[in-house]
Structure 1
Amino acid sequence: MRKVVGVDVSKAKLNFCILNDTFEIEREGVVENNLLGFEKLTALLESSKVEVEIIFEPTGVYSQKLQYYLHLNDFKYVIINPLLAKKEMDTLRKTKNDRLDAKKLAIVQVKNKYDFTVMNKLIYSELRYAHRYYQVISQDHINAKNRLHRSLQLTFSDVEKLYSSNKTDVFYNIVKIIPHAGIIAGKNTDEVFAILGGLLSKSKKSHIKRVNRLIELANITAVAVPVESVMNDQVSHWASEVLRLQLLKDRIIEDMVKKAAKLEEFEKLCSLPGFAEVSVVGLIAELGDIRRFKTSQKLNAYVGLDISFYDSGQFKSKGRITKRGNPIARRILYLDTLNMIKTAKRTHEDNPVARWYEHRSKNELNGKKKILMGATDRMLRLVHKLVTTDATYTYSND
């Protein structure tokens, strides 16, 4: 005899429905989505003489608490894909509310008996949380740079010509100290070195040239606010934020690399041409334990690179990727594929992904985006093969 518990998880409460294998409702109810609620629910289940199966849909942070509690207390549970759940539940009554959703989930599990979910190892979860944090900080870093650029247009717009394209930490420190062109306009080299307070050295010719260039830019800059303007505080603030967020990004990645280096797949993926440590740890963080995917097609669907077609009669669609999977992992894979192709061109060392891409795109005149997505699919297969066979990347044209 089986017992199945369908749970509908929301922000503040859990609706549950306990069914037996004859679809009879043994108990229904509502508990709070907190530790007390979890204990009430599991107390009901522990009184059962048969093994209990729990099924629920993932609802982001609200269901993760329940999953972690069930994992710690050795309960068997199924986290059903929301798309699959909708497909199955649409065959039942159309009426929808939290109570009925819990019942429908239980019915679906009784009928189909889905495999139990195995929780990722803690290291993969920690890497995922760290990488999502890194994504947030990266966006904040970009925003800080954009805000600094806007503020500088009023106080010292030409200072951005001091460095060509890649602005260094020295640039942001200079802007933090000298946020307005009027602070150094008309001053000599020694006076500007004194204002910078040791940031640049008089003993280095390159630094002297840089300071002379800074004075030159200050003298030609047209400003929109006086030298005592509050905008100076904003410029200094955003310059400091750019520096702070860059340090934070570096620290997060450094910690992630230390953790990921303990995993066997880290070294395997780093052996791929064009794969840097940052992209490898990001890929591991988003994909988790790749060995849980029995085939590369399942990994492909998880990322959202699987192709769907919509054909009808004489109409034949060209096909498009579903994009139903993990968008962050998909973006990392796309960029890594580009790096792989660029590395092959730069080093003249062939690899299977670049070779496939060059062959397919040779006579393409209508854009290469689809071909590049095909190359990403090939690269994902290669990633799956390396990890599941515990192999290091090697390639020969022979």
Structure 2
Amino acid sequence: MAMEYLGIDVSKRSLRLALLRRDGKYRDRTLENTPRGFGQLAQWLEKWSSEPVHVCLEATGPYGEAVAEYLHEAGYRVSIVNPARVKAFAQSEGLRTKTDKVDARLIARFCQALEPEPWQPAPPRVRQLQALVRRLDALQQMRLQEEGRLEGAHPTVAPEIRSHLDYLDKQIQHLRQQIRELIDDDPDLRQQARLLASIPGISDITCAWLLAEVRFERYDNARELAAYTGLTPREFQSGTIKGKPRLCKRGNARLRKALYMPALAAIRCNPLVRNLAERMRKRGKQGKVIVAAAMRKLIHIAYGVLKHQTPFLEQGA
């Protein structure tokens, strides 16, 4: 069946579109990444597409979720692809990864060439869990801000800030309880949480973050999952200048943030992560480089225990 291909380059505020038409020509447009922009996108596709449209965007965390759900519900074939796959395709097209941006046209060409599998939204329970953990994070950030304000607060407003902190504490406690109950009431989530919690360094809330933000079954291997998380090193190169590897940070920023403290804990209490950190220190690595490697190792271990459906064991992880 004849198809046309829409590549969407997603950012927090905008959607850069490239419609690859049957005649090989492109139609480009930039819209707001808002519900109003989604409606304009649907109208634009109706106007310019002459065949069924296969929509493709990168898995870049929360910024693309809403437009993907909108287009899926509107009946379009939607694929959300791992950035590592698009990067490999870009390299096959002769593009470097530093200055040659993975743009909407390239994503459309990728979609035409490889025709990735259609994406399905997360089950309702997982979407509920995602809403709860994101709300919990927002309240925790709000509490940190209020604590900072209290330090230098005038006596006139200090009692109000303390009252707000008490309120936030109750809301945070209530959300944690809701998260626990939601996971316990769902057999699949409960089993996955039990496996993840067997990993030293992974707390109950980190389990909830992983289950809410990651569809583990979508990834063929742990390396692909690490790329989605934005924890794979990338080479910074321009012409003859070659820099140090750094994290790509194109993936799920919420998940990276949620893994930071568990990685610090795992460096102390998880034998596999601790040994990795010690080897890196001997090679002269330090600080954030070691923590990033620990986060990446935790993702690999998490993928392993869920794939094999066995709890963490040092000798088998």
- State TM-score, norm by structure 2: 0.72
Match of 1:280 among 189, 194, 207: 207
Q: What residue in structure 1 maps to residue 123 of structure 2?
A: 121
Question: Measured at CA, do residues 87 and 126 of structure 1 come closer, stay the same or move farther in structure 2, by a change above 3 Å?
Answer: farther
Q: Distance in 1 between matches of 2:155 and 2:165?
A: 16
The answer to whether residue 182 in structure 2 is matched with residue 259 in structure 1 is: yes
Match of 1:341 among 261, 264, 267: 267
* Maintained 8 Å contact 2:18/2:104: yes
Note the C-alpha offset of 1:294: 0.9
Question: Measured at CA, do residues 246 and 333 of structure 1 come closer, stay the same or move farther in structure 2, by a change above 3 Å?
Answer: same
Note the C-alpha offset of 1:377: 2.6
Calculate percent identity across the aligned residue pairs. Answer: 20
Q: Distance in 1 between matches of 2:268 and 2:110?
A: 48
SS at match of 1:6: strand
Q: Distance in 1 between matches of 2:54 and 2:165?
A: 50
**Which amino acid in the other structure matches residue 129 of structure 1?**
A
Q: What residue in structure 2 maps to residue 4 of structure 1?
A: 4
Note the C-alpha offset of 1:43: 7.2
Q: Distance in 2 between matches of 1:310 and 1:242?
A: 44
- Out of 311-320 and 254-263, give the one that drifted further: 311-320
Greater RCO between the two (CA within 8 Å, min separation 6)? 2
Question: Measured at CA, do residues 12 and 276 of structure 1 come closer, stay the same or move farther in structure 2, by a change above 3 Å?
Answer: closer
**Which amino acid in the other structure matches residue 2 of structure 2?**
R
SS at match of 1:338: helix
- Out of 124-133 and 268-277, give the one that drifted further: 124-133
Q: What residue in structure 2 maps to residue 242 of structure 1?
A: 165
Note the C-alpha offset of 1:4: 1.2
Note the C-alpha offset of 1:38: 7.3
- Out of 238-247 and 315-324, give the one that drifted further: 315-324
SS at match of 2:200: coil
Note the C-alpha offset of 1:371: 3.5
Match of 2:249 among 323, 330, 346: 323
Q: Distance in 2 between matches of 1:369 and 1:13?
A: 32
Q: CA RMSD in A?
A: 4.5
Q: Distance in 2 between matches of 1:39 and 1:313?
A: 41
Q: Distance in 2 between matches of 1:13 and 1:310?
A: 26
**Structure 2: which 5+ residue stretches go unaligned?**
96-102
Q: Distance in 2 between matches of 1:295 and 1:138?
A: 33
* Maintained 8 Å contact 2:60/2:251: no
Q: How does 1:61-72 map to 2 (within 5 A)?
A: 64-72=65-73
Q: Distance in 2 between matches of 1:30 and 1:314?
A: 34
Match of 2:289 among 357, 370, 379: 370
Note the C-alpha offset of 1:127: 2.6
Q: What residue in structure 1 maps to residue 99 of structure 2?
A: none
Q: What residue in structure 1 maps to residue 307 of structure 2?
A: 388
* Maintained 8 Å contact 1:3/1:18: no
Q: Distance in 2 between matches of 1:322 and 1:316?
A: 16
**Which amino acid in the other structure matches residue 4 of structure 1?**
E
Q: Distance in 2 between matches of 1:232 and 1:371?
A: 43
Q: Distance in 2 between matches of 1:12 and 1:323?
A: 18
Q: Distance in 2 between matches of 1:137 and 1:276?
A: 19
Q: Deviations over 1:62-85 (max 9, x none)?
A: 864442233335431234678949
Q: Distance in 1 between matches of 2:215 and 2:232?
A: 20
Note the C-alpha offset of 1:29: 10
Q: Deviations over 1:128-158 (max 9, x none)?
A: 332222222112101111212212xxxxxxx
Q: Distance in 1 between matches of 2:294 and 2:7?
A: 41
Q: Distance in 1 between matches of 2:315 and 2:55?
A: 50
Q: Distance in 1 between matches of 2:277 and 2:63?
A: 42
**Which amino acid in the other structure matches residue 319 of structure 1?**
P
Q: Distance in 2 between matches of 1:312 and 1:376?
A: 28
Q: What residue in structure 2 maps to residue 354 of structure 1?
A: 274
* Maintained 8 Å contact 1:23/1:110: no
Note the C-alpha offset of 1:35: 8.2
**Structure 1: which 5+ residue stretches go unaligned?**
93-100, 152-230, 345-350
Q: How does 1:1-398 map to 2 (within 5 A)?
A: 1-6=1-6, 17=19, 19-20=21-22, 22-23=23-24, 33=36, 52-55=53-56, 64-79=65-80, 84=86, 109-151=111-153, 231-261=154-184, 262=186, 263=189, 264-286=191-213, 288-310=214-236, 319-343=245-269, 351-361=271-281, 363=282, 367-395=286-314
Note the C-alpha offset of 1:370: 2.9
Question: Measured at CA, do residues 122 and 282 of structure 1 come closer, stay the same or move farther in structure 2, by a change above 3 Å?
Answer: same
Q: Distance in 2 between matches of 1:356 and 1:14?
A: 40
Q: Distance in 2 between matches of 1:23 and 1:315?
A: 36
Q: Distance in 2 between matches of 1:322 and 1:35?
A: 28
Note the C-alpha offset of 1:54: 3.0
Question: Measured at CA, do residues 43 and 272 of structure 1 come closer, stay the same or move farther in structure 2, by a change above 3 Å?
Answer: same
Question: Measured at CA, do residues 232 and 334 of structure 1 come closer, stay the same or move farther in structure 2, by a change above 3 Å?
Answer: closer
**Which amino acid in the other structure matches residue 268 of structure 1?**
L
